[in-house]
Amino acid sequence: MMALADVQDTDSPYALSHLDALESEAVHIFREVAGEFERPVILFSGGKDSIVMLHLALKAFAPAAVPFTLLHVDTGHNFPEVLEYRDRTVARHGLRLHVASVQDYIDAGKLRERPDGTRNPLQTVPLTEAIQEHRFDAVFGGGRRDEEKARAKERVFSLRDEFSQWDPRRQRPELWQLYNGRHAPGEHVRVFPLSNWTELDVWQYIAREKIELPEIYFAHEREVFKRSGMWLTAGDWGGPKGAEQVETRLIRYRTVGDMSCTGAVDSEATTLDAVIAEIAASRLTERGATRADDKMSEAAMEDRKREGYF
């Protein structure tokens, strides 16, 4: 053995578990934004990543209230259980929620429904307009670098120009824990406190902190149909069509998004432990398993992010 290699850091009384280290880092990021920005907002969809973000923000400022408002970009095709969870959570913590509605934009003729029925890319315009309208200068997102290869390149503090565009070649180097949030009027900074978390970290943290989630994350019977190899929830939003057949299956969701492009996975996991075991054993990534919009091209995420998407 080598001189130092046999010292196990886990024996040190000062060693932090990886979840404690990630939690501490995320709290540091929330407090940096609170200290340096005028009008921050948390993107809150009722999905697990934004739920964890909100939980971290609540801890970061306890016993005071979270000094941020929330913003939800509602595609109009959201799961009703998730919207119900969203409203209940907002009320419970006495928070203020802004909703930017894709449906409103379509009804007003400012956005056009895509032929494939997918509304996820349509979120960009309502999102960026809401940011401009409310003059938000820091926008928290639950994006994680482990989700996708373009996201792996994303900074924790990511400057966006007045058009909300991301330019991956002109990112500020991020050194130590010194986040540079300087921006000109009209520009804003996207902030990703969960950058260094993986899907498994998020689930382990949810289990440790006993955080309540919308039920669709756990196995339940649901009417679904198959499209492009994924199980989609049947409904008024646009399916099934043609030869697509509805069947009742035992499924759960790994991600929560627009019903038109978020697929369910076959699962018997009804508890947090079972979900964690299932994810630890899965040979598919979260997005590979359940997101259609990332499969549109090799650089789909990078292209959408350049336009202002998260």
- Binders of another protein among residues 86 to 115 (CB under 8 A) are none
Q: 171-230: which residues touch another protein (CB under 8 A)?
A: 171-178, 180, 182-184, 195-196, 198, 200-201, 204-205, 207-208
CA distance 234 to 174: 44
Binding mask 253-272 for another protein (x = CB under 8 A): -------------------x
Judged by beta carbon, residue 74 or residue 286, the one nearer another protein is 286
Find the binder of another protein among 88, 168, 223, 248 (CB under 8 A). 168
Q: With binding defined as CB under 8 A, does residue 9 bind another protein?
A: yes
Judged by beta carbon, residue 86 or residue 155, the one nearer another protein is 155
Q: 20-49: which residues touch another protein (CB under 8 A)?
A: 20-25, 27-28, 31-32, 34-35
Collapsing DSSP to helix, strand or coil, 182 comes out as coil
Find the binder of another protein among 16, 80, 135, 228 (CB under 8 A). 16
How many residues belong to the site for another protein (CB under 8 A)? 83
Shortest approach of another protein to residue 257 CB, angstroms?
Answer: 17
Judged by beta carbon, residue 52 or residue 111, the one nearer another protein is 52
- CA distances for 261 relative to 51, 70, 77, 199, angstroms: 21, 24, 10, 19
CA distance 293 to 260: 10
Shortest approach of another protein to residue 230 CB, angstroms?
Answer: 12
Query: φ and ψ at 250, to 5 degrees?
Result: -85, 110
Q: What is Dmax (Cα atoms) for the chain?
A: 70
- CA distances for 42 relative to 34, 55, 138, angstroms: 12, 12, 8
Judged by beta carbon, residue 109 or residue 173, the one nearer another protein is 173
User: First and final CA of the chain: distance in angstroms?
Assistant: 47
Helices 18-36, 199-209: crossing angle, 10 deg rounding: 90
Binding mask 47-86 for another protein (x = CB under 8 A): ------------xxxxxxx---------------------
Before 67, cis peptide (omega within 30)?
no
